[in-house]
Structure 1
Amino acid sequence: MKSIKLVIALLMFAMALTAKAAPLLNGLALEQQFNKDQYIAAVYAERLSNDAASLLDNNMPRALEIRVVADHLSARRLRNQWMEGIAINNPGDTLTGQAENMVTFANLFKGRLVSGDRLRIDFEANTGATSVSLNGVELGKIDSREFFNTLLRAWIGPVPPSTEFRDNLMKSGQVTGGLLATFESLQPSAERVSQVRATYEGEAEEVAAAPEPAKPEPKKETKPESEAIVSVSKPDLSADIPAPTLAAIGSAAIEKPAPARPEPKAETPAVAQASQPKPLKPTTTRPATPPVDEEELEEEEDEAPLTADMILARQIYHSMLLRHTFKHINYPKRAMERGQEGSVRLNVTIDSRGNVIDVATLQESRYSSLNREALDAVERAGPYPATPPQLKMTEYKFSVPITFRLPD
Structure 2
Amino acid sequence: MKSIKIVLSLWVVTFALAAKAAPLLNGLALEKQFNKDIYIAAIYSESLTRDSTTLLDNNIPRRLEVRVITKSLPARRLRNQWMEAIAINNRGDTLSGQAENMVTFANLFNGRFAHGDQLSIEFAADTGSTTISLNSIRLGEIADPDFFNTLLRAWIGPVPPSTDFKDGLLSAGQVSGNLVTTFESLAPTSERVAELQLKKISREEAETAAVEEAPAETSVPKPAIQIADLPPPTLALAATAPAAAVPSGTGSPEGANEQNPQLEEVAPTQAEDEVELITLPPEGGPALAADTEDMMEDEEEAPLTADMILARQIYHSSLLRHTFRYIRYPKRAQERGQEGSVRLNVTIGSQGQLIDIQPIQESRFSSLNREAQAAVRRAEPYPGVPMQLGADSYNFSIPITFRLPD
Task: Give the SS at the match of 2:60.
Answer: coil
Q: In terms of mean alpha carbon deviation, does 138-147 or 337-346 score higher?
A: 337-346
Q: Is the 8 A contact 2:338 2:365 kept in 1?
A: yes
Structure 1 residues 152-167: aligned runs within 5 Å: 152-167=152-167
C-alpha separation between the residues in 1 aligned to 2:272 and 2:298? 40
**Aligned match of 2:244:** 230
Cα-Cα RMSD: 3.1
Summarize the Cα distance change of 1:84–1:110 in structure 2 as closer, same or farther, 3 Å threshold: same
Q: Is the 8 A contact 2:158 2:272 kept in 1?
A: no
The 1-side partners of 2:389 and 2:266 are apart by 20
Q: Measure, in 2, the Cα distance between the counterparts of 1:253 and 1:401.
A: 14
The alpha-carbon deviation at position 68 of structure 1 amounts to 0.9
Q: What TM-score, normalized by structure 2, do the two folds share?
A: 0.79
Q: Which residue of 2 aligns with 1:9?
A: 10
TM-score normalised by structure 1 residue count: 0.79
Give distance in 2, aligned partners of 1:159 and 1:344.
15
Distance 1:406 1:379, change over 3 A: same
Per-residue deviation, 1:91: 0.6
Q: What is the aligned partner in structure 2 of residue 171 from structure 1?
A: 171
Which moves more between the two structures, 368-377 or 97-106?
A: 368-377
Distance 1:203 1:34, change over 3 A: same
Once residues 332 and 200 of structure 2 are traced to their aligned partners in structure 1, the CA distance between those partners, rounded to angstroms, is: 53
Distance of aligned partners of 1:200 and 1:372 in 2 relative to their CA distance in 1, 3 Å threshold:
farther
Is residue 146 of structure 1 aligned with residue 146 of structure 2?
A: yes
**Matched length:** 357
The change in CA–CA distance for 1:131 and 1:100 in structure 2 (over 3 A counts) is same
Q: How does 1:190-201 map to 2 (within 5 A)?
A: 190-201=190-201
Q: Is the 8 A contact 2:160 2:242 kept in 1?
A: no
State the 1:294 CA deviation. Answer: 9.2
Q: Relative to structure 1, is the Cα distance of residues 250 and 186 closer, same or farther in structure 2, using a 3 angstrom cutoff?
A: closer
Q: CA deviation at 1:41?
A: 1.2
Structure 1 pair 213–312 and aligned structure 2 pair: CA distance change class (3 A) = farther
Q: What's the offset of the Cα at 1:401?
A: 2.0
The match for 2:231 is none
The aligned residue for residue 60 of structure 1 is: 60
Question: What is the CA–CA distance in structure 1 between the aligned matches of 2:402 and 2:270, rounded to whole Å?
Answer: 17
**1:83-130 deviation digits (Å, cap 9, x = unpaired):** 111111111001000000000000011001111111111111111111
Aligned 8 A contact 1:24 1:44 in 2: yes
**What residue identity is the alignment partner of 2:14?**
F
Shift of 1:298: 5.1
Matched, 1:273 2:283: yes
Higher mean C-alpha displacement, 7-16 vs 55-64: 7-16
> Which residue is 1:319 aligned to?
317
Contact 1:161 1:345 in 2 (8 A): no
Match of residue 350, structure 2, among 346, 352, 355: 352
Instruction: Evaluate the alpha carbon distance shift between residue 246 and residue 400 of structure 1 in structure 2; reply closer, same or farther with a 3 A threshold.
Output: farther
CA positional deviation for 1:12:
4.5
Counterpart position of 1:389: 387
Could you say if the C-alpha distance between residues 166 and 76 of structure 1 is closer, same or farther in structure 2, counting changes exceeding 3 Å? Answer: same
Identity of aligned residues (%): 58
Question: Separation in 1 of the partners of 2:283 and 2:58?
Answer: 38
8 Å CA contact 1:131–1:140 kept in 2: the answer is: yes
Structure 1 counterpart of 2:303: 305
Residues 230 and 333 of structure 1, relative CA distance in 2, 3 Å threshold: same
The runs of 5 or more residues in structure 2 that have no matched partner are 212-217, 222-240, 248-259, 286-292
In structure 1, runs of 5+ residues without a counterpart are 215-226, 255-270, 276-292
CA distance in 2 between partners of 1:73 and 1:331 (Å): 35
Q: Identify if the C-alpha distance between structure 1 residues 364 and 246 changes in structure 2 by more than 3 Å, giving closer, same or farther.
A: farther
Decide whether aligned partners of structure 1 residues 251 and 191 sit closer, same or farther in structure 2, where only a CA change above 3 A counts.
same
Contact 2:29 2:41 in 1 (8 A): yes
**Residue 212 and residue 235 in structure 1: after superposition, are their counterparts in 2 closer, same or farther (change >3 A)?**
farther
* CA distances 1:207-258 after superposition (whole Å, capped 9, x unpaired): 57555479xxxxxxxxxxxx954115645666xx998x3442242699xxxx
SS of residue paired to 1:401: strand
What is the CA-CA distance between 1:369 and the residue it aligns to? Answer: 2.7
For the residue of structure 2 that corresponds to 1:81, the secondary structure is: helix
Indicate whether 1:184 and 2:184 are aligned.
yes
* CA displacement 1:360-405 (0-9 Å, x = unmatched): 1111223323222221211111111000001010111011122233
Output the CA distance in 2 between the equivalents of 1:189 and 1:183: 15
- Structure 1 residues 340, 54: CA separation in 2 closer, same or farther (over 3 Å shift)? farther
- Three-state SS of the structure 2 residue aligned to 1:187 is coil
Structure 2 vs 1, CA of residues 236 and 339 (structure 1 numbering), >3 Å: closer, same or farther?
A: closer
Kindly state the Cα deviation for residue 44 of structure 1 after the two structures are TM-superposed.
1.4
Q: CA deviation at 1:143?
A: 0.7
Q: Which whole-Å deviations, capped at 9, do the CAs of 1:173-232 have from their partners, x for residues lacking one?
A: 111111211111111110100111222343345457555479xxxxxxxxxxxx954115
Determine the C-alpha separation between the residues in 2 that align with 1:380 and 1:311.
28
Deviations 1:242-278 (A, max 9, x none): 98x3442242699xxxxxxxxxxxxxxxx94269xxx
Q: Secondary structure at the match of 1:397?
A: strand
Q: 1:91 & 1:207 partners in 2: Cα distance?
A: 36
8 Å CA contact 1:229, 1:235 repeated in 2: no
Letter in structure 1 aligned against 2:318: M
Amino acid at match of 1:146: D
Residues 204 and 346 of structure 1: CA distance in aligned 2, closer, same or farther (over 3 Å)? farther
In structure 1, what is the Cα distance between the partners aligned to 2:269 and 2:168?
A: 22
Q: 2:328 aligns with which of 319, 327, 330?
A: 330
C-alpha distance in 1, partners of 2:179/2:276? 36
Q: Is the 8 A contact 2:102 2:306 kept in 1?
A: yes
1:72–1:113 CA contact under 8 A, matched in 2: yes
